Structure 1
Amino acid sequence: MNLKDISNRDLPNLADCASEPIHIPGSIQPHGVLLALDGSGIIRFCSANCAWAFGAEPSGLLQRPLAEVDATLAAAVNEALGRPDPRDKPFPHTAGGRAWEVFAGPADDGSVLVELECCHVPTVNDAELFDQTRDFIGHIERSRDLQELCGRIAAQVQAITGFDRVMIYRFDPEYNGEVYAESKVADIEPFHGLYYPNTDIPPQARELYLRNLMRAINDVHYEPVPILTAGNGDHASLDLSDALLRSVSPIHIQYLKNMGVGATLTISLVLEGRLWGLIACHHHGPLHLVHRQRQAALMQGHFLTSQIRVRQVAEEYGIYTVVEAHLQQLLNALQQEGDFPSRFRSFSSLMALTHASGVALLHQGQLHEMGLVPGRDRLRALFQWLAQGKGQQFVTSHLAAHYPDAAKITREASGVLYMRLGDPKKDAIIWFREEFERTIRWAGDPREAVKRSPVTNMLTPRSSFAQYKEQVRGHSREWRYSETNAAARFAGALQNQVHLEYLRAEEASQRLLNEKLVKANNELANINWITTHDLKEPIRKIQVFASKVMGSDEVQLSESLLNALSKIQGSAQRMRQLVDDIMSYSLTDDPAEAHVPTDLNGIIAEVIDAFEDELREKGGRLESTPLPTVPAVPYQMRQLFTNLVGNALKFAKPGLAPEVRIDCSLAAPGTFHLPLLDRAQPYYRIRVQDNGIGFREEQQERIFNIFYRLHDKEAYAGTGIGLAICKRIAENHGGIITARGAEGEGAEFEIYLPADRRE
């Protein structure tokens, strides 16, 4: 049989550690044997050392059903696959004269992995494991804080496993690892407090740590055992993501060798779906743990993970109670009389609310500061930047990572907590935290974590772990959830206060405007009175005296003087007509007028009677279809149709008998698209058409403006108020009037009145 080695040897072509396919190494660690079955139970892959367990070389196993090779093992594997999480419960098996622990489970590529791990005599018995687990309860009770508890857990894991060093890593948001606690033998140097860069554990390795909570390397100097498959098979690789025996990245192995480590055990600490940290166990020589020991150590990791959340919640609650007390004090103070900005500096709890070193309020464009804050010009620039798309809230403990000009305000504002209070250009608040300088002790220079060898062209990890100190600038202490939550609640209450102040100011402004409007209306009423009463008398006298002078037989007047007096009389008549029209226009807006059921047919009959002589004289005709009865002010309806019919007769075509037609139809809800009308109710559509001189299309909106005249006043008498009166009457009755026309082709007016209007 032609065999194919699927070991991955592509390291020289890697761009960086993050691109290494560590889930498909194509090899295993040598302390066990691996088989991979397809869905029919046929062996498609096997490790090169399979003779150790089965007494047959790979060529004698591949392409054969496992049941033919070892019927007992095949039956046990099938039984295990029927249980949930089969890999967590290995079963014993004897093969090749040795005792094995067998782990079986499905792989992502559809294969079934069967791993046989050689049993060793445990260094501790079951009773000791139980006692160590029981002691954990005592550790919880005696530990004052999380770090002390981590130290006790590290010591417990060391006792269970026998490793020389047990460290508990805690990751920061960028996955740089800090040795948070440590337990070690006496004669090795401490690593406690050191930091390791995130490049030591690349992203794909972190994914596997989330997937597999425990990972063991019994001897870092092992020779990988290749995985083989039939040369004519279609399988190029085997996914070993969940394999216990999976071979480790050569880069990581070299990293451990450079540290002087001989064996490792790693336990993941996962909190709310995120890798919080690791329990990392190191030994200077080879060390093999049986499954029970590893499970006991893993149980310590589970215990610790549960306590991390409990301790964090307890710590957060302690901060919450302090913050909540300050919040309630501020909320009570907001309810007191007086505007908030004037009392800003008296709010002693404002900085304590978020443990800030300074706070700045932008209220109606004015700045108010407290504590350590940037200068006013830079403060305004920061507010302006935050207003440009940073949302309702913006929180950071490293402003320099976001704000281009952060270097100028680092001392006062390395951290900011920003809340909008409405229009961000006018109302917002920022809490500040000053710069918190600290020194990080790295285990080696983080900038030289991985290099490429000029000889082999392969990536190699750093060989030096000498302490490298880095001064961290531009950061503040982290904002806690309880602080940001309290700030958001206070900002919400403050925003309500700001809006309340605005509404009060608007109310005062509206009250003042209303007073001015009442005064203006009273003055306008006086002007109307003067216009409609006091002006009529002088106009009448002008007309009377002009008539007397023109009709006097005692004085002989020249023709030019008679012409001038005639113009005076004409102007006085137009002025009198204007006064009458202004009076009519003002009366159409009288709210005291009562709306009563009005038969529009009777109104049209009165209009026809009024224009009877003029119609006869011009040979004109006015026709009307039946009209409805509507709630209206009768004299206003009479004036509306009088003005429309009068205009039709006034603007008749020369030499053509005027014709006026009035009809009515019902406009059902939703059948019209006109402003000011309610589309959900029906309207009467009353149309008045004539065959007169019409008007240009661009004039159809302006003809309803007061004093707007379409035609020369010498040719057509009038004041330009008639159609404005029609518009006001239609609106007084809950409707509108529209106009359409074409020059030389007549005009058409449509009056919409509510069809179901109630008194």
Structure 2
Amino acid sequence: STMALLCDVLVKEVSELTGYDRVMVYKFHEDEHGEVISEYRTPDMEPYLGLHYPATDIPQASRFLFLKNRVRMICDCLATPVKVIQGKKWAQPLSLGGSILRAPHGCHALYMANMGSIASLVMAVTINEDEDEVKSDPSTGKRLWGLVVCHHTSSRFIPFPLRYACELLVQVFGIQINKEVELAAQIRESHILRIQTVLCDMLLRDSPVAIVTQSPNVMDLVKCDGAALYYKGQVWLLGITPTEEQIKNITQWLLKYHGSTKGLSTDSLMEAGYPGASELGDAVCGMAAVRISSKDVLFWFRSHTAKEIKWGGAKHDPVDSD
């Protein structure tokens, strides 16, 4: 709720400062798709709040540029681009990656026009700012958390002092978001350590069955829809899981094809090559499995992603060619 309040205050302030018809906070999820989590708009604008957009809507190259140049303004996506004339002595073309004046790519200009947006202002929200460079591990290096996106139905130019004020506001917002992200991570880590301690104590005092029959149990350790234990030929189930017979089949497949490892983690059993994946239905899709002995396995299961997600972006007819 603190994060939601921060977002709502930010979009209102940016809207009052700039006068754009629509201001949104666009958050990137772990799988890199985006979601509009806050919006301030004029009453005649179509609401985008709650819409999700595929990761391909904002390519990796664009995200990298946002880490280098945090503000991107397009005054009029329909304006004719003006070429940059370069001296002949320069062998390489001039990079406009850091320029506020560069014209939008033709595809992006068309995308904006199709949305009814002529002008835009986009500001990057970054976290882990104390890191000097972007690292391969997103949890430690500077990371693009999301974007503040402003749309206008007619051409609009925001002078530098006002843009700078907005950029400063977004930087302060990013600092607060960073604190919220760190606090959530600390709370989650503390919770996991506490559960781990209790479960380890159970294992020392009882058989492994205790971690699925008592409270807390293994489902409290991992975000999942169900868990199962295959121990000495018997199966214990918690939550939404395959049947006992299916658990035994998965165990046999796991020991046969992944017996040389301590376990397996996959977003999709179908993609992992499990032959019986189609028989599991919609209830079970992802799985994490850990061998606790040479023949005994602990499982966690997740169902398919919720089907109620509202997707935005381009609409495609199945019969249309790309």
Same-fold status (TM-score > 0.5): yes
Q: Counterpart in 2 of 1:382?
A: 250
Q: Counterpart in 1 of 2:287?
A: 416
Match for 1:264: what amino acid? S
Cα pair distance change 1:239/1:180, threshold 3 Å: same
Match for 1:353: what amino acid? L
| Matched position secondary structure for 2:161 | helix
Cα pair distance change 1:153/1:400, threshold 3 Å: farther
Distance in 1 separating the partners of 2:48 and 2:301: 35
2:265 to 367, 381, 395: 395
Match for 1:181: what amino acid? S
1:512-551 equivalent positions in 2, closer than 5 A: none
Higher helix content, 1 or 2: 1
2:78 to 218, 221, 230: 221
C-alpha contact 2:199 2:211 (8 A) present in aligned 1: no
Distance in 1 separating the partners of 2:171 and 2:221: 35
2:121 to 265, 268, 272: 265
Cα pair distance change 1:367/1:278, threshold 3 Å: same
1:545-560 equivalent positions in 2, closer than 5 A: none
How much has 1:414 moved relative to structure 2? 2.6
Distance in 2 separating the partners of 1:419 and 1:311: 32
- Residue by residue, what CA displacement relative to the aligned partner does 1:284-332 show, whole Å, maximum 9, x if unpaired? 2222112221122112222222222322233344444544443333222
1:313 aligns with 2:182: yes
- Residue by residue, what CA displacement relative to the aligned partner does 1:448-469 show, whole Å, maximum 9, x if unpaired? 69x88xxxxxx9xxxxxxxxxx
Q: Counterpart in 2 of 1:354?
A: 222
C-alpha contact 1:330 1:347 (8 A) present in aligned 2: no
Cα pair distance change 1:177/1:379, threshold 3 Å: same
Distance in 1 separating the partners of 2:212 and 2:45: 56
Match for 1:265: what amino acid? L
1:458-477 equivalent positions in 2, closer than 5 A: none
1:330 aligns with 2:186: no
2:16 to 151, 154, 159: 159
Higher relative contact order (CA 8 A, sep 6+): 2
1:369 aligns with 2:236: yes
Distance in 2 separating the partners of 1:446 and 1:273: 33
Q: Counterpart in 2 of 1:247?
A: 103
Cα pair distance change 1:393/1:167, threshold 3 Å: farther
Cα pair distance change 1:412/1:188, threshold 3 Å: closer
1:35-54 equivalent positions in 2, closer than 5 A: none
Say how many residue pairs are matched: 303
Cα pair distance change 1:202/1:311, threshold 3 Å: same
1:46-445 equivalent positions in 2, closer than 5 A: 144-230=1-87, 233=89, 235=91, 237-271=93-127, 272-336=141-205, 339-341=207-209, 343=210, 346-350=213-217, 351-363=219-231, 365-371=232-238, 372-387=240-255, 388-389=257-258, 391-404=261-274, 405-423=276-294, 426-435=295-304, 437-445=306-314
Q: CA RMSD for the aligned pairs?
A: 2.9
C-alpha contact 2:77 2:104 (8 A) present in aligned 1: no
| Matched position secondary structure for 2:85 | strand
C-alpha contact 1:177 1:196 (8 A) present in aligned 2: yes
How much has 1:219 moved relative to structure 2? 1.9
Match for 2:278: what amino acid? A
Larger Rg: 1
C-alpha contact 1:267 1:298 (8 A) present in aligned 2: yes
| Matched position secondary structure for 1:156 | helix
C-alpha contact 2:86 2:94 (8 A) present in aligned 1: no
Q: Counterpart in 2 of 1:598?
A: none
Distance in 1 separating the partners of 2:270 and 2:182: 30
- Residue by residue, what CA displacement relative to the aligned partner does 1:325-350 show, whole Å, maximum 9, x if unpaired? 433332222232x5434x56542321
How much has 1:169 moved relative to structure 2? 0.9
C-alpha contact 2:14 2:166 (8 A) present in aligned 1: yes
- Residue by residue, what CA displacement relative to the aligned partner does 1:350-382 show, whole Å, maximum 9, x if unpaired? 13333544322233x523312243123321332
Distance in 1 separating the partners of 2:272 and 2:48: 34
1:497-508 equivalent positions in 2, closer than 5 A: none
Distance in 1 separating the partners of 2:105 and 2:222: 46
- Percent identical: 27
Gaps of 5+ in 2: 128-140
C-alpha contact 2:52 2:312 (8 A) present in aligned 1: yes
TM-score between both structures, scaled by the size of structure 2: 0.81
Cα pair distance change 1:415/1:145, threshold 3 Å: farther
Q: Counterpart in 2 of 1:116?
A: none
Distance in 2 separating the partners of 1:209 and 1:167: 16
- Residue by residue, what CA displacement relative to the aligned partner does 1:31-77 show, whole Å, maximum 9, x if unpaired? xxxxxxxxxxxxxxxxxxxxxxxxxxxxxxxxxxxxxxxxxxxxxxx
| Matched position secondary structure for 1:335 | helix
C-alpha contact 1:412 1:432 (8 A) present in aligned 2: no
Gaps of 5+ in 1: 1-143, 453-458, 460-759
C-alpha contact 2:202 2:211 (8 A) present in aligned 1: no
| Matched position secondary structure for 1:205 | helix
1:23-42 equivalent positions in 2, closer than 5 A: none
How much has 1:393 moved relative to structure 2? 4.6
C-alpha contact 1:197 1:446 (8 A) present in aligned 2: no
C-alpha contact 2:235 2:244 (8 A) present in aligned 1: no
Match for 1:266: what amino acid? V
